[in-house]
Each structure stands twice: as structure tokens, then as C-alpha cells.
Structure 1
């Protein structure tokens, strides 16, 4: 995975505000590059320093293996949830998920300026890597 792509994904994730969430595919769509699997790879290998709990499967389920920690963060941030999360807190049993329809981040115009800057920088860096010094495209 190219470092340029990793840094771009992490930059987008940093923009997602508390109480909101996005799906892996949303991040790829905002960047105009990659797909849910690539974003998932970045998050699983490099996402520890960003609000990783705000990036989910399209179903709204928390990152696998991090459900308990993520649930506490969702509750702290006021992220909309559905299902038996209160029983999950007490017993570790119960099915719940983020209500992605209600929690999905909708970037403002100002947010889109930042998203566009990250996406354009990524495109420029990746294009520069694919064009040799003689200017011929491979």
C-alpha cells in the first residue's frame, strides 16, 4: 500500500467529527481512489492514531475485535446506535450497531474544501509517481 494513499485516508478520517461515522467505502469515494477493502486495510494497519471507531462497515458494525472499546467511544460522543447495546455493556451479549443512516457524516462546503485538497494532493502524488522523468506516461 502506497504511503500517499495511507496518509490521504488518515487525513479524511481525522475530518470526521465526533458523533458521526462513515463507511469504509465512503472514505474511498471521498478520495476518488481505492475502495472499501483498501480503506479497511489502511485502518487496520495504520489507523490507531486517528478516530478509527468512526470508520465502519457499511452495515454500521464496529471494527471487528474492537466492539467493546468502540461502543464506549460511541456513547461518549453521542453517536446514534440501534440494538441491545445496554445489555452488551452489562453482559457482553447482545447485538448492536451504529445507526449509519443517522450518524453518517455529511461534509459541509468547508469540509469539502479540505476533502478536495486531500484528494487532489493524492492524485497529484500518485500521478507524479507514474510519470517518468522524460514525461512519457507508462
Structure 2
């Protein structure tokens, strides 16, 4: 995976404010490239230094294997939740998820400007790499 793509994904993740969440597919759509699996791979390998809990499956489920830690972040940040999350906090039992219809991040104009800058820089880097690759195969 290209480091330029990794850096772009992480830049978008840093923009998602506390109490909000987006899906892996949302991040890819905001970047204009890749898909949920590519974003998930970036988050899995490089996401520990950013608010990873704000990036979820489209179902609202927290990142697999990190549910308890993610839930603590959601409760602290006031993220909208569905299901038996209070029981899960007490006992580790129960089913819950983020209510993405209520918690989904709605970027403002300034956010869009930053995202467009990130996406534009990624596109320029990928074009340069593509041209360099084409020159090497000729």
C-alpha cells in the first residue's frame, strides 16, 4: 500500500470530531479513491495514532477486537449509541453499536476545504507515481 494513501486516510480520520463517526466507505468516498477494505487495511496497520474508534463498519459496529476500548471512547465523547451498551460496560455482555444515522459526521465548509487539499495532494502523488511507473516499463 502506498504511503501517500496511508497518510491521506489518516489525515481524513484526524478531521472527524469527537462524538461523530464515519464508515470506512465514507472515508474512501471523501478521498475519492480506494474503498472500505483499503481504508480498513490502513486503519488496521497504521491507525493507532489517530482517533480510530470514529471509523467503523457501515453497520455501526466498532472495529473488531477493540469493542470495549472503543465503547469507552464513545461514552466519553457522547457518541450516539444503540443497544445494550450499558450492560456491556458493566458485564461485557450485550449487543450494541454506534447509531451512524445520528452520529455520522457532517463536514463543514472548512472541513471540505481540508479534505479537498488532502485528496488533491494524493491524486498528484499517484499521478506522479503512475507516470514514473509508465516510464520504467517503456
TM-score by length of 2: 0.96
Aligned counterpart, 1:126: 126
Aligned mates of 2:51, 2:69 — CA distance in 1: 12
SS at match of 2:82: strand
Aligned counterpart, 1:67: 67
Aligned counterpart, 1:116: 116
After the TM superposition, which residues 3-18 of structure 1 pair with which residues of structure 2 at under 5 Å, given as runs?
Answer: 3-18=3-18
Aligned mates of 2:133, 2:76 — CA distance in 1: 51
The answer to which structure has the higher helix fraction is 2
Aligned mates of 1:86, 1:26 — CA distance in 2: 28
CA shift for structure 1 position 5 = 0.2
| 1:105 pairs with 2:101 | no
Aligned counterpart, 1:25: 25
- Unaligned 5+ segments in structure 2 are none
Aligned counterpart, 1:94: 94
Aligned counterpart, 1:42: 42
Aligned mates of 1:36, 1:82 — CA distance in 2: 23
CA shift for structure 1 position 134 = 9.1
Aligned mates of 2:133, 2:37 — CA distance in 1: 32
After superposition, the C-alpha distances for 1:102-136 in whole angstroms (9 at most, x for unaligned) are: 0000100110000000000000000011113998x
Aligned mates of 2:59, 2:74 — CA distance in 1: 16
SS at match of 1:63: coil
Aligned mates of 1:133, 1:42 — CA distance in 2: 23
- Unaligned 5+ segments in structure 1 are none
After superposition, the C-alpha distances for 1:64-83 in whole angstroms (9 at most, x for unaligned) are: 00000000000000000000
